[in-house]
Structure 1
Amino acid sequence: MNEIQELKDRRDQLLKEADQLHTQLVPFEAALENEQSIG
């Protein structure tokens, strides 16, 4: 049972990290979209 909880905790940690990375990428995604619409 402890192993399952550890896996759940690890999953939550990774999801939080992924969410933070996605937030950091938003300006770059917007810049790429703007560049593509200009070109």
Structure 2
Amino acid sequence: MKEHVLDPARAAAALCGGRGGLTEAEWRRYVPEVPYRRTC
């Protein structure tokens, strides 16, 4: 089962924890309708 994090604080922690956020390519793949910005 896949978990979807809806709480913004939990989502930010999940993205930033140990990874440093989304790359530009990942951002375009997962959030294509929003211009890229650093997440962490």
The TM-score, its normalising length taken from structure 1, stands at: 0.26
Higher relative contact order (CA 8 A, sep 6+): 2
Structure with more of its chain in helix, by fraction = 1
The TM-score, its normalising length taken from structure 2, stands at: 0.26
